[in-house]
């Protein structure tokens, strides 16, 4: 999996298809999609703060089977508040299909990121 930021400062993850992440019926497990959504939201939000953020709430809808495609997950900052931030996220397949959508609420901690 690789992470980049687009021109808007939003996180974009690219994940090549990996059969080791398949469920019993032979396609990408939903937990992998949840992780992609969470990562896209978390990194999008974290880029706007100099402090640690924590995922407080994560919602997702699985829309389509992956069908052994490479995936792209992206986040969009909806609100950057003092203690809470909200993002929406999506996962698309390399063939253009929208695979999953999600939203997340992230708690902004007082702990400064060092390094």
User: What pLDDT was estimated at residue 113?
Assistant: 81
Mean pLDDT across 104-109:
98
- 100 pLDDT band, cuts 50/70/90, is very high
What dotted CATH number matches 2-112?
A: 3.10.129.10
Tens-place pLDDT, residues 36-75: 999 999 999 999 998 999 999 999 999 999 999 999 999 9
* pTM for the full predicted model: 0.94
Tens digits of residue pLDDT in 4-22: 999 999 999 999 999 999 9
Q: Using CA atoms, how far apart are residues 115 and 97, in angstroms rounded to an integer?
A: 38
């Amino acid at each position: 999996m690789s992470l980049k930021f687009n021109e808007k400062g939003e996180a974009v993850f690219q994940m090549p298809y990996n059969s080791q992440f398949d469920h019993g019926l032979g396609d990408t497990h939903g937990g992998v999609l949840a992780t992609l959504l969470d990562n896209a939201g978390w990194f999008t939000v974290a880029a706007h703060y100099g402090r640690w953020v924590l995922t407080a709430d994560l919602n997702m809808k699985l829309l389509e089977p992956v069908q052994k495609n490479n995936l792209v997950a992206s986040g969009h900052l909806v609100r950057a508040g003092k203690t809470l931030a909200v993002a929406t996220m999506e996962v698309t397949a390399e063939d253009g299909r929208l695979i999953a959508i999600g939203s997340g609420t992230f708690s902004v901690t007082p702990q400064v990121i060092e390094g």
